[in-house]
Amino acid sequence: MHTLPTLTYAYEALEPHIDGLTMHVHHDKHHQTYLDKFNAALSNYPELAKLSAEDLLWHFEDRVKTEAPADIQAALKNHGGGFEHHNIFWEIMSPNGPREAVGDLAAAISSKFISFLDFRTKLIDVATKQFGSGWAWLVLDENKELAIYSLPNQDSPLLNKHYPIMGIDVWEHAYYLKYQNRRPEYLEAIWNVLDWQQIEARYQMGLKKS
Ligand SMILES: [Fe+2]
């Protein structure tokens, strides 16, 4: 059974940028529901249940598609994606921490996108243009190159063996209580709570992932 991660900071710790009520509903209700449905979909597939959510999505083609029927595949893609993406989301935010890339990732971003500001602008742009629900991602692609794009719903970069370094949730549940329809304001505010030490750690994990 997969379990809901406990936040390493208080629900209110990201205020005023991300409000405590949104954090409560997002973590305790939305994330919990993805988890419950993910576990339910795995209940008759003990071998798949042994995989981490990350590995289950990473090995979707060679494991899930050969071991589970189509309806279970769809549930694992949607709810496994929703579960893992929120694990990442809580991990890459904190009330402290550097607010710009550090270490090897800082160098990689400068090399790929000219500057951190240029990268930030491009990521906000894809997040703004994602129609309806989805996520904007910074990933390591199959060549271990940085790339940014958005994907709808809970479709995961992991399904294409792209390692998610960081992602911004643009489902309305991520911002509607505080920002209502003003997604661009949320997409500006979130940079005040992204923790680039944590994101650097994910970059290092992504470089090793195979
Ligand atoms: Fe979400």
Domain with CATH 1.10.287.990 in the chain: 20-91
Q: How far is the CA of 170 from the centre of ligand 1 (A)?
A: 7
Tens of pLDDT, residues 79-127: 999 999 999 999 999 999 999 999 999 999 999 999 999 999 999 999 9
Tens of pLDDT, residues 192-208: 999 999 999 999 999 99
Q: How far is the CA of 47 from the centre of ligand 1 (A)?
A: 27
Q: How far is the CA of 169 from the centre of ligand 1 (A)?
A: 6
Q: How far is the CA of 67 from the centre of ligand 1 (A)?
A: 28
Of 175, 80, 74, the residue nearest 127 (C-alpha): 175
156's enclosing H/E stretch is none
Domain with CATH 3.55.40.20 in the chain: 103-208
Tens of pLDDT, residues 57-82: 999 999 999 999 999 999 999 999 99
Q: How far is the CA of 111 from the centre of ligand 1 (A)?
A: 30
Q: Which residue has the tokens 């661009």?
A: 184
Q: How far is the CA of 127 from the centre of ligand 1 (A)?
A: 14
Which CATH code for domain 103-208?
3.55.40.20
Q: How far is the CA of 64 from the centre of ligand 1 (A)?
A: 24
Q: How far is the CA of 188 from the centre of ligand 1 (A)?
A: 17
Which CATH code for domain 20-91?
1.10.287.990
Tens of pLDDT, residues 2-30: 999 999 999 999 999 999 999 999 999 99
Residue 74 tokens, joined: 């769809």
- Cβ density class 140-159: b for 16+ within 10 Å, e for less: beeeeebebbbbeebbbbbb
Q: How far is the CA of 51 from the centre of ligand 1 (A)?
A: 22
Q: How far is the CA of 173 from the centre of ligand 1 (A)?
A: 6
Q: How far is the CA of 86 from the centre of ligand 1 (A)?
A: 6
Distance of alpha carbon 18 from the chain centroid: 16
Q: How far is the CA of 130 from the centre of ligand 1 (A)?
A: 14
Burial of 44 (0-12, 13-18, 19+ CB in 10 A): exposed
Provide the pLDDT for residue 31: 98
Share of the chain above pLDDT 70, in %: 100
Q: How far is the CA of 162 from the centre of ligand 1 (A)?
A: 20
Parallel, antiparallel or unpaired: strands 146-152 and 134-140: antiparallel
Q: How far is the CA of 116 from the centre of ligand 1 (A)?
A: 25
